Every structure is written in structure tokens, then in C-alpha cells.
A = this chain, B = another copy of it.
Amino acid sequence: MKRKVAVIGVGMVKVDHHWSESLRSLFTKAALNALEDAGIPKVEALYVGNMSAGQFNNQENIAPLLADSLGFNSIPSIRVEEGCSSGAAALYMGLKDVASGMHDIVMVGGVEKMMDTTTNDATFIISTVTDQEYEAFTGLSLAGINAMVMRLYMKRFGVKRESFAKFVVQMHDNASKNPYAQFPFKISLEKALNSVPVADPIHLMDCAPIGDGAAALILCPADKAKEFVSDCVEIAGAWKANDTFLFHMRKDFLTLKATVEASRNAYEMAKITPEDIDVAEVHDSFSIAGFLAIEDLGFARKGEAWKAVEEGLISLEGEIPINPSGGLKARGHPIGATGIYQAAEIVLQLRGEAGKRQVPDAQVGITHNTSGFGTSAIVHVFKAK
């Protein structure tokens, strides 16, 4: 990149059922938090990630709407959509905006207001990130795709549901320390194992929830960051990769090629290896997705994520702490906002401001956000400066 970029502010609202908030008010709160954190009154441009305001809220053209709500009715603002990774896509765009020299102070955010629909409608809308002509029209939901993969994975590697349940328990443990989490409480292994089946072998506790959320970051050129904040975090690498859109066209159902390619390229750009990473926020929309992420990002061998989980490597004190926020599973997954929540968590971790869920001495962190069932993946690498 032509110019290095830093994060100088983060803002979030608690992921929740925000019945009394609108798309607009929810995002505005998160954005004002980010501005306050950076200590600045305004930005030069806004990128906002959102998957389906059209379907969820009958509202398109949301970026000028949100910019206006913030009082920034003259700045350029653009919405980016990339299914479940819309948040990371917004960050990826804002990053290039600053790196290109086009703007200096840029806000990137994400918002999804999902609770204005029924659960059935939400499940349908979420399935529109898969192929409507060849997959979704059959009634195959994302839970269905993940269930098939989980079944194959369990058979291929001899892994039991207990291992996945232990991952879920860890996510809730972490979320219990996160004031922004939708489910800030611990659950027992029994509860994780014995929740209602959704699409066997996936049970309710294997799934990320539906919720409302918004988060925002402030970016600026790295060489100007110290003007605003003492603790700045640099974005040292970023990559987005795709895979076949149709799941059944893939050669390997148990590896997300997009994750592998995005992470390898982002690591190379940041000049790191997986061993250098102190903390990671990964896309665990289902527990099986969490396992694939741990492996495809280079933290465990294929088929051995269960070891990292059972040996405690992914815990806050482990070798490679995964999802200190609680992850999509327990922090929550307000779709278009998730990638920004992940980045905000990593920034707090690298600033040493993550409170009870702080990973000791975290210097390098990554975020990993995917869309569909790995149709694309975006990985960002952050370094404390």
C-alpha cells in the first residue's frame, strides 16, 4: 500500500434485541462512540457495511442516510455489501481510501437491524447470501450447509459433538467478560450439548444468534495517528479472497480456500506468520465454522482444531486466544456489523483496554470475516505501535 493506515477510534453498542432503536439511531450511537474515542468531531468519508437493510428494513441508500444522521451531510459515504462479511468489506474499502491518499480521516462502520422481522423471515433473508438459483431455492439454509459439513468433518476426523460444545462453552466464557456481548453469560457443557437440534448435528447452541448491532472505527494515516491518540493500532495487512460461489463445486468441502488465501496474503503483506499472532477474532457463525477457521488460518492442522480447543490453546491465557469477545456465537452476529465488531475488539486488545477479557501482552491480532459458506473471506492484520 502507498501509505500506512492506523485505527485511532473504536465505538460499539451492545449487540441485543434493540426494539426501540432504528437502523439510524443504532449506527449513530456506535459512530458517536468512535468519534469520542478518537477525540475528533468529524470525518472526511464514511464506509458502512450492511447486508440487507433493503430486505430487513425496506431501506436502501443507507450510507447518505447514516452520514446525515451524524450531521455529516456533505461527506462522501458509501455502503458496501458482501453478505456476512460486509463489515470487513467496509474496513477494506476505508483502508484503501486512506492508503490511496484520497482522504485522511475516514469512518468505517457496520450495522444490521435484524429484529424487525420474524425469525423465519430472517432465516430466509440470511439464505439470500447463498445462490438463489441453485441453492437457496431448494430450502437449503446456512444451518443446513454447515450441518452437512459438520457431519462430514466428524466422520472424516473422528471428532465428536463434545469437542464442538467445548468451543461453544469457551465462547460464552469469553462473552461473560464482554459488556458488548449479546449473551454475556457462561453456559455448561450439558447445555451446549443438549440444546434443541436445528439441523442435525447442529444444535441451537452451535449457531450464532440473530441480533441488532452497530460498530464503527476511525482510520487515519499512520504517520498522523500520534496527533490524535497515544495508543494507536496499525493495519499492517489486508486481503480479500473468493472461492466458488456454489458450495458443491468445491474440491475440498472441509477447507475454506478463501480463508486460506486471504490469510496467507494478509500475513505476507504484514510480514508475519501464524506463530506471531497473539489474538484472533474469527468467523464462527456455527461451531464447525469456528473449527475450520482455526485450521485454515494456520493455528492448527486440518482436523485438529479440537485439540486446540480441548488443550485450552484458544482460551484467553492460551497460546492463540480465539474470539476474546465471545465471537459470533456469544458476542453476537449482527451480520453487516460483525466484521467491525471483530476489528474493534482487536484494537481494544492491542491497546490493552479489553478489561476482564484482556489477552496478556497482545501485540499482533487478526480478524477473519467470511460471507456465505466461505464464498469469500477477508483477513486484516493489526499491530500495536
* A96 close to B (CB within 8 Å): yes
CA of A82 to CA of B83 in the docked complex: distance in angstroms? 16
Kindly report which residue of chain B lies nearest to residue A62, judged by CB atoms: B81
Question: How many copies of this chain does one complex carry?
Answer: 2
Size of the A side of the interface (Cβ < 8 Å), in residues, is 65
CA of A132 to CA of B133 in the docked complex: distance in angstroms? 29
CA of A382 to CA of B137 in the docked complex: distance in angstroms? 43
| Closest CB in chain B relative to A36 CB, distance in Å | 22
| Closest CB in chain B relative to A246 CB, distance in Å | 7
Kindly report which residue of chain B lies nearest to residue A59, judged by CB atoms: B132
* A39 close to B (CB within 8 Å): no
Contacts of A79 in B (CB 8 A): 80-82
CA of A242 to CA of B72 in the docked complex: distance in angstroms? 8
Docked-complex contact B242 and A128, CB < 8 angstroms: no
Docked-complex contact B76 and A78, CB < 8 angstroms: no
* A129 close to B (CB within 8 Å): yes
* A248 close to B (CB within 8 Å): no
Name which of A9-17, A99-107, A356-364 contacts chain B.
A99-107
Given contacts A68-B244, A242-B74, A375-B64, contact A55 B55 (CB under 8 A): yes
Kindly report which residue of chain B lies nearest to residue A67, judged by CB atoms: B242
Question: A101-143: contact bitstring with B at CB < 8 Å (1 yes, 0 no)?
Answer: 1100000000000000000000001001111110010000000
Kindly report which residue of chain B lies nearest to residue A245, judged by CB atoms: B68
Docked-complex contact A24 and B133, CB < 8 angstroms: yes
CA of A59 to CA of B129 in the docked complex: distance in angstroms? 6
* A57 close to B (CB within 8 Å): yes
A-B contact pairs, 19 of them (CB 8 A): A1-B100, A1-B102, A59-B131, A60-B83, A60-B128, A62-B81, A64-B245, A65-B245, A67-B242, A68-B243, A68-B246, A72-B242, A73-B242, A76-B241, A76-B242, A78-B89, A78-B93, A81-B81, A96-B102
Top-7 shortest CB links A-B: A100-B100, A61-B83, A76-B240, A61-B129, A68-B245, A64-B375, A2-B101
